[in-house]
Amino acid sequence: MARLLILGGTAEAAELAARLAGDARLETVTSLAGLTRLPNVGAGRVRRGGFGGPDGLAAFLSDEGYDALIDATHPFAAQIAAHAAEASQKAKVPRVKLLRPPFERTAEDNFVPVQDVQAAADSLPEGARVFLAAGRREVAPFAARSDLWCLIRMIEPPTAGERLPQGEVILGRPPTDPAEEELLLREHQIGWIVSKDSGGRAAAKIIAARRLGLPVVLVERPKPPAGPTVENVDAVVDWIETTLFGEP
């Protein structure tokens, strides 16, 4: 039986694990960083926590006898992606990167592309009212701008001492309905949205911004490591067939 390690933490990784669960030729393990309390893991075995860098991951792959590595981590998880590439070479275990395409660009979108979160904070005009939807760990450069008013959505409440920008925190997961997001943006008189170009199907916030004609400061993705990259779960399944079983 072939052993497959999926580096997960994304919806695609869960979908892939669920797809492969019925394949009797494969034993699949999903690896999670262990940051989220109730992650969606799809199916199959799960392990949690870092490997201790590329050497740790290479040793894990060799010691546990893995035959292939699927890096299905988030487009912005640049460190684990680089470690996966290095470890696969060291351990001589084939790897593929599953990288969903960036957000679609339509004529109605008003995207302001920037290199990183600091550039996003620098690009906002004086006194802007901002919906900060770039992720909880990315708020520091905005907290340093005392002229901004920021609406921040968090799944877990802020912890004591966590430095946040001036504004308001709302708790909850992002809605799937753009109308809900539109209402939120109107209610808080938001003029600017900051988001990562996480990609995939346009998120509700992106559609709501499009409908309201609001500019979205869009943080561009880090460049993925060299090597095979595919855009969806179907293509990973094809890659597994070809790589492990020699069939397209």
Task: Please give the backbone phi and psi of residue 69, each rounded to the nearest 5 degrees, phi first.
Answer: -125, 125
The type of residue at 77 is A
Q: Residue 108: exposed, middle, or buried by beta-carbon count in 10 A (0-12, 13-18, 19+)?
A: exposed
Task: Please give the backbone phi and psi of residue 111, each rounded to the nearest 5 degrees, phi first.
Answer: -90, 140
What is the smallest separation between the CB atom of 51 and ligand NAP, expressed in angstroms? 4
* Long-range Cβ contacts of 178-184 (<8 Å, 24+ apart): 178/204, 178/205, 178/207, 178/208, 178/211, 179/208, 180/204, 181/205, 181/207, 181/208, 182/208, 182/211, 182/212, 184/131, 184/151, 184/208
**Which of these ranges, 4-12, 124-132, 154-162, 230-238, lies near ligand NAP under the rule CB under 6 A?**
4-12
User: Which of 42, 44, 83, 219 is the binder for ligand NAP (CB under 6 A)?
Assistant: 83
Beta-bridged to residue 95, according to DSSP, are 69
User: Which of 32, 139, 208, 236 is the binder for ligand NAP (CB under 6 A)?
Assistant: 32
Residues 213 and 191: their CA atoms lie apart, in Å, by 9
> Reduced to 3 states, what is the DSSP secondary structure of residue 70?
strand
For residue 73, state whether it binds ligand NAP (rule: CB under 6 A). yes
CB nearer ligand NAP, residue 44 or residue 182: 44
Rama region for 213: left / alpha / beta (φ>0; ψ in -120 to 50; rest):
left
For residue 51, state whether it binds ligand NAP (rule: CB under 6 A). yes
What is the smallest separation between the CB atom of 147 and ligand NAP, expressed in angstroms? 26
CB nearer ligand NAP, residue 35 or residue 179: 35
CB nearer ligand NAP, residue 6 or residue 182: 6
Q: Dihedral, CA atoms, 41, 82, 201, 181, nearest 10 degrees?
A: 80
For residue 174, state whether it binds ligand NAP (rule: CB under 6 A). no
**Which of these ranges, 71-79, 95-103, 201-209, 233-241, lies near ligand NAP under the rule CB under 6 A?**
71-79
Position closest to ligand NAP via CB? 50
From residue 111 to residue 150, the character string flagging contacts with ligand NAP as x (rule: CB under 6 A) and all else as - is ------------------------x---------------
For residue 97, state whether it binds ligand NAP (rule: CB under 6 A). no
CB nearer ligand NAP, residue 25 or residue 45: 45
Task: List residues near ligand NAP by CB under 6 A.
Answer: 7-10, 31-33, 35, 50-53, 56-57, 73-74, 76-80, 83, 135
